């Protein structure tokens, strides 16, 4: 039923040439403290001509959050993503803490054994080259020479030995068979 109403509503909008605008009204009970504060904020938004866009954004945000999505929230407030991700990365799981403890223990063992650095950096190359590229023995090849291209010339002449229209008609007739 809603799809049919939306379709009718959309057809009604597309048939008109000028913009089709709708107004929605709502009530605030200013005897309630929260709604009174909202009323004051609404007046400030209307003074700066930001009321309609704020209401549109608020409805989009609420509908998006109710559907379990955060797309509009991140679109409207990009800093939320950073804050949210920072909160996630600060908390470490028991597995991460155990891995860090093992790594710390391994580092301490390597220091006790006299290794100056962790990793493979202490291994020296056998050819005496200190970490640079190794020269390979490869035979030198001469670059190709393309001097013979200049002697070539192409002469184009019209072929008058056949009748092109007759050839075309014969080809078309052979396709019908």
Tell me the two tokens of residue 129: 């080259």
Question: How high is the pLDDT of residue 48?
Answer: 94
Interacting residues of 36 by C-beta distance below 8 A, sequence separation 6+: 28, 30
- Tens-digit pLDDT profile for residues 106-121: 888 888 887 555 554 4
Cβ atoms < 10 Å from Cβ of 42 = 14
Local structure of residue 91 (DSSP, 8 states) = S
**Position 176 confidence tier, pLDDT thresholds 50, 70, 90:** confident
The pLDDT mean for the chain works out to 77
Dihedral of CA atoms 27, 33, 37, 39 in degrees, nearest 10, equals 20
pLDDT band at 177 (very low <50, low <70, confident <90, very high): low
- The CA–CA distances, whole Å, from 20 to 16, 25, 60 equal 7, 17, 20
Q: Are 64 and 71 in contact (CB under 8 A)?
A: yes
Q: Where are the alpha helices (DSSP H) in the chain?
A: 2-15, 33-47, 51-66, 71-76, 79-90, 94-112, 164-176
Residue bearing the bigger pLDDT, 26 or 16: 26
Greater model confidence, 36 or 16 = 36
Three-state secondary structure call for residue 123: coil
pLDDT, position 84 = 76
Q: What is the pLDDT of residues 131-152, one digit of tens each?
A: 677 778 888 888 777 666 666 5
How far apart (Å, rounded) are the C-alpha atoms in residues 37 and 50? Answer: 17
pLDDT tens digits for 70-104? Answer: 889 989 988 888 877 766 666 677 888 888 889 99
Report the pLDDT averaged over residues 11-31: 76
At residue 116, the pLDDT reads 53
Q: Is the pTM of this model over 0.85?
A: no
């Amino acid at each position: 039923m809603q799809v049919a109403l939306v379709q009718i509503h959309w057809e009604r909008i597309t048939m008109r040439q000028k913009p089709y605008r709708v107004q929605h009204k709502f009530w605030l009970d200013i005897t309630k403290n929260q709604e009174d504060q909202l009323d004051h904020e609404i007046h400030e938004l209307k003074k700066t001509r930001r009321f309609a866009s704020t209401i549109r954004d608020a409805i989009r945000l609420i509908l998006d959050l109710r559907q379990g999505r955060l797309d509009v929230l991140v679109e409207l407030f990009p800093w939320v993503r950073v804050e949210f991700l920072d909160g996630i990365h600060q908390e470490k799981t028991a597995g991460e803490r155990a891995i860090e403890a093992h790594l710390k223990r391994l580092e301490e063992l390597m220091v006790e054994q006299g290794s100056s650095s962790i990793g493979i950096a202490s291994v020296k190359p056998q050819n005496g080259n200190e970490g640079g590229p190794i020269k390979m023995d490869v035979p030198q090849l001469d670059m190709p020479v393309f001097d013979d291209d200049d002697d070539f010339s192409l002469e184009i002449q019209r072929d008058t030995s056949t009748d092109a229209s007759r050839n075309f008609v014969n080809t078309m007739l052979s396709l019908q068979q």
